Each structure stands twice: as structure tokens, then as C-alpha cells.
Amino acid sequence: MAHHPILATDHRAFPVAPPATLDDPSVITRHDWEAFAALERVVSHWDRPGWENGRRAYYWLLTFPQATPLLSRVWHCQSALHHLCMDAVPDDGLHVTMTRIGAVDDVTPHDLDRLVQAVHDRALTAFHLDAHPLAGSPGAVRFSLSPWTPLVRLHAALGASARQAGLPDGRPTSGFRPHLGILYGNAERDARPVIDAVSALRALPPVPLSVDAVDLVELRREGAAYRWKTLHRVPLAPFRP
């Protein structure tokens, strides 16, 4: 199977291998689903060293505070999967994680100012996405996203900006697997009931999303949810079809 040269097999990522194309939604969603459907066990998302309750770090996120159609679809899916007793992502907690910048204690406000300026200077362009119900990972239920090309380019640009600002650039773009989580696992158990329940929602149509900014946030864990304070919202240049 031929993969995009920017992405590579990464055993820390899920799916481990990237899809064969970054832009065909049918290929991307099938690839996500096949990886999820092959799981034998699901685990607690919160069993993550370094992310104890109250831990804080700086991240780049995509957020969707005004995306009413997305919220409606998330509510529908969360309601249909309520019996799984997973931890629902709150309405104001929906996000796409782009990349980690560093722990709060390791990055100064001056560092962040340099980073934001470096991202501004790149004049990155806005883009459109589709959020496709529904697949998952060992620790979450999540929407697949397409196309990946603008997301991968943004991830690479954020990493390059971090290096320019003298900061860690997070995980390499080669292991980036964009997604939008709606439920987090909170216990280890047999994966089959989760997979079967999620499978019933796969026929739902995708939800269109517009990405016109990227947010630098101070992210923290509060119990079974992520919360954040937005420090900088960097607008992206208007999309031109």
C-alpha cells in the first residue's frame, strides 16, 4: 500500500499506519474503521502517565464553538452510545489536537509570544473539513476527518514555527493522525460491544466544518474532561476555492 511521503508508520499513533491517501474520504474512513474494528480490548483514556488530574500544558488546538450542526451530531451519537457509560466530551470541550508545545513550567510567556509571531508570519490558509461518524481508538470514540492534507500541512507548519521559536515541536508530523473525539474510555474491557454499538452510527452523513483559526491554549485535565484557557487565537487567511 502506498502512503503519503509525509506520514509514516508510528506505533505510538492510531492507526499505526497512515491511510493510502490523505484526501479521499472513503479511504480515510474505511482505514480508521478497520483499525478500530480489529481491536480486541479497549482501555481507559485517562490511564496516561503525565496527565494526572490538574496537569497543565500548552497545546495548539482546533476548536468549534459555533458549529451547531457538529454539536447536534455529537449529541445524537453520544445519546445513542449512552449505555456504554463512557465519558462524554462536553460541548465546549470538542477539539482537534494539533500538537503539544510544552508543560506550563517549561515555557515562558516570551516563548509563547515568539511562537505566535512565527505562526502569524507563515500566513497559513483557512480550510474546510468533514467530520465523519464514526470510528474510534483503544481509548476513545471519535469522528474521522477528511481531507487530511490541510491538517497535515498545518501540523508541519506549527512544528516548524516551534523550532523557529526555539521550542519543542511535539511529535513528528509523520505520526499525526487527526481525529475529533466525542467519548473517552474509562475502563479496560472487551472491545466488541463498543465496536458493535459504534457500527450502528456509521451511516450518518458527514458534518462540514470550517477551520479559520488555530488556538494556542493552556490545557488542563479536570477529572474526566479536558478544559482549557485560550491564550492566543491565530486567524488563518481566508480560504480561496
pLDDT in tens, 124-135: 999 999 999 999
User: For residue 100, what pLDDT is reported?
Assistant: 94
Q: Which domain holds residue 113?
A: 40-235
- The answer as to whether 191 is a domain residue is yes
CB 27 within 8 A of CB 20: yes
- The answer as to whether 15 is a domain residue is no
User: For residue 49, what pLDDT is reported?
Assistant: 73
- The answer as to whether 199 is a domain residue is yes
pLDDT band of 136, cuts 50, 70, 90 = very high
In Å, how far are 9, 86, 93, 190, 227 from 219, measured between CA atoms? 28, 21, 11, 31, 6
- The answer as to whether 5 is a domain residue is no
- The answer as to whether 21 is a domain residue is no
- The answer as to whether 86 is a domain residue is yes
Strand order in the sheet with 127-137: 87-88, 180-184, 140-146, 127-137, 207-211
pLDDT band of 169, cuts 50, 70, 90 = confident
Specify the number of domains making up the chain.
1
User: For residue 6, what pLDDT is reported?
Assistant: 87
- The answer as to whether 2 is a domain residue is no
pLDDT in tens, 10-51: 999 999 999 999 999 999 999 999 999 999 999 999 987 766
User: For residue 168, what pLDDT is reported?
Assistant: 81
User: For residue 55, what pLDDT is reported?
Assistant: 79
- The answer as to whether 96 is a domain residue is yes
**Domain CATH number, residue 202:** 3.90.1140.10
